Amino acid sequence: MKLTVAVVAYGRYKYLDEAVASVARQTRPPDEVLVFTDNREAVRPVFQKHGLDVEILQEPDLTYCATFARIGETASGDYVLPLDDDDVFKPEKLERLEPVLKEGRWTLVKHAADFIDAESKPTTWIQQPEEPAVITRENAWQLYRRFLYYHAWSSTLAIKTDLLKRHGEILKHMFLLVDFTMFTLALKDGEVLYLPIKLTYYRRAAGHSQFITCNDLPKVVCTWNKYTHDLDVLSRYINIKEINKIINNLYISYLVKIYTLNTKFDCIYKYKVSYLSLVKRSFVAVARRVYPHVLFAWLSPLLGSKRVAEIYYRLLCRWRQKPAR
C-alpha cells in the first residue's frame, strides 16, 4: 500500500509552514509527497526546512480542479491524501487511515475535522456525525439531507488514485468544486466511507469560499459563480438519477444566489443563465420546499434586479451576523 500526500499551494503561503510540518510529523510517513504550486522558489525552502523529499510541479495555469487531474496523472500511490496550504494533518492521520485504505473497497474515504481560525486557535463551527457511515447511490440523498458536509474539505479526503485517472478529463473543464466533485464521482464508481475520527485541522477564514462576515461576500459570490458552473458540468457528466438529485439541489442553491447577487458584484467569471431557464430549473426545488430563497430570484423582474440584490444582500448579512446556537 502506497500513500501519496499532494500539497496544493497557489498564491497563498502564510500557513504553508504549518501544513508542511504536519506532513513531516506523520507517524506513518507518506511514500510520496507531490507539491503543486505557482511558485517553486517560494515553496521549496519550506519543504527543505522540514527535511521532506518532494517533487515540486510548478503549474501556474491550472484551475484547482485541473490540479487534481494532474495529481492523478502524476501520483504513484494507491490513494492520494490532498492537503491545502492552510490546513494541517494530525500526526497519526496516515497511520490511522492505512488499515482502512488497505481494504481497497472504498473509492473515497472522508473523515471528520477539528477547526482552527486564522491564528491557528481551536474554534467551533459544525457538529459532525459521530457514527461511521457507508454512503452509496441508494442512501446518499437521505444521508446528505441530514448532514450537508459529508463531502466537504478536500484535506479530509483519501481519494483512490484510479478515480482521479479515470475522470481527469472532466476535472480539466471545471474550476473549484473539488471536494463535492470527488464525492459524487466516487458514488458513481463505488462506495464512500465516512469516519467520525478527526484527523485534520481545517482552517476557517483563509479561503475564497468562506462566508464569515458580510465583507467576504464580494469574493464569495465570485466563487459561487464558479461552483455553479462546476455543478452544471458535473450533472451533465454523471447523469445518474440518484446522484444528480444531490448535484441539482446544490446547483439550485448557488444558482439562486448568483442570479440575485451578480448585479451587485463584479466577477471575472459570471455564470450565465436566463430568467426563463432559472425558473424552469428551480421550479422543482420550490415545489419540494428545498430552497425557498428561489423566490428572490423569481421576483427580480417585478421589483428590479438591483433592488432585489440589495434586499437579498442585507438579509444574508443579517443572517450571517446572528450568533451561532
* Least trusted range by pLDDT, from 19-28, 144-153, 209-218, 256-265: 209-218
- The pLDDT > 90 percentage for the chain reads 70
pLDDT at 324 over 60: no
Identify whether residues 20 and 52 lie together within a single domain. Answer: yes
Identify whether residues 199 and 58 lie together within a single domain. Answer: yes
Q: Write down the pLDDT at residue 154.
A: 97
Identify whether residues 15 and 136 lie together within a single domain. Answer: yes
Considering the domain boundaries, does residue 208 fall inside one?
A: no
Identify whether residues 35 and 136 lie together within a single domain. Answer: yes
More confident residue, 308 or 243: 243
pLDDT at 325 over 50: no
Identify whether residues 65 and 157 lie together within a single domain. Answer: yes
Q: Write down the pLDDT at residue 304.
A: 73
Q: Last residue of a domain, which of 173, 203, 233?
A: 203
pLDDT at 212 over 90: no
Considering the domain boundaries, does residue 163 fall inside one?
A: yes
Considering the domain boundaries, does residue 170 fall inside one?
A: yes
Q: How confident is the model at residue 22 (pLDDT cuts 50, 70, 90)?
A: very high
- pLDDT of 81-110, one tens digit each? 999 999 999 999 999 999 999 999 999 999
Identify whether residues 167 and 67 lie together within a single domain. Answer: yes
Q: Which domain holds residue 14?
A: 3-203
pLDDT at 282 over 80: no
Identify whether residues 66 and 159 lie together within a single domain. Answer: yes
Identify whether residues 44 and 175 lie together within a single domain. Answer: yes
**CATH code of the domain containing 134:** 3.90.550.10
Identify whether residues 117 and 167 lie together within a single domain. Answer: yes
- pLDDT of 167-209, one tens digit each? 999 999 999 999 999 999 999 999 999 999 999 999 986 555 5
Q: How confident is the model at residue 299 (pLDDT cuts 50, 70, 90)?
A: low
**Side chain identity, residue 219:** K
- Average pLDDT over the chain, rounded to an integer: 90
